[in-house]
Structure formats: structure tokens, C-alpha cells
Structure 1
Amino acid sequence: MAGIGYYRLVKMLRGEVILRLEDVAAADRLLGGISGFTRTETPTDSTDRFAATLPAADMGEFPT
């Protein structure tokens, strides 16, 4: 996360600031796509309206 300054990073770790979308995206890239929103798997059940919006839902990460 080279684009984040030291003081902002410290505040984020303490929970004093709200994460910006770019912070989440940088962490996702750094940690290898753990958020579930960057995965490319397609849902197996096309009738599940939530699986289309949350790709991780059909991977057992969210209760169904």
C-alpha cells in the first residue's frame, strides 16, 4: 500500500478513519483478491439473484 501515507495508515489501523474504496482495492490487490468482488467465477444457480451480485456467495463464504 505504497500510496497511503504513514499517518493515514496508522489512523486506519486504529479505526479512526473510514476506509476509502481505493484503500479496500489496494488491500485486495496486495492480499491476492480476498474480497470476493474480483473473482471471475460465475454462479452455478442462475435463479439466485444474490449470487449474481455477490460472486463469493456461491463459494460457501456467506450463509445461504
Structure 2
Amino acid sequence: MRRLHAADPPLSVVSGIGISTPALAAAVAPLVDAVVIGTPVVRALGHGSEEAGGLVAAFAHALHARS
């Protein structure tokens, strides 16, 4: 990661592969510039908007708690 941040011009480092839980997103967040959360939300949408909304809120809370 240091090499990516040291590039000229500096590159943004984004993680999205394997980010399946709010805890994992919170653990990865300090190491990168952005965390992409897609598959868990799409899967939750298949179970209904309430489940997806709760999951998105859990990810947001976990990431906000780390900042």
C-alpha cells in the first residue's frame, strides 16, 4: 500500500473484494482510501429492503466508529 500511496501522482487505494461484513470493512478502512461494499448489499436486497437497510446501517456504523 505504501508504494501505491507514494506513486507520482498519488493513487487512491480502494478495497472491495471480500468485504462481506461490517467488522471486516472496519478493519480494512484504516488501510485504504475507500471501501466498496456491493455483494452483501445486493444479496440482502434479495431478502427485502428492510434487511438491506439494516445491513447498510450496520456497515455505516462500523465505518463511522473507526473514523
What is the TM-score when the length of structure 1 is the normalising length?
0.28
CA radius of gyration, larger in: 1
Structure having greater relative contact order (Cα 8 Å, sep ≥ 6): 2
Structure that is richer in strand per residue:
2
What is the TM-score when the length of structure 2 is the normalising length?
0.28
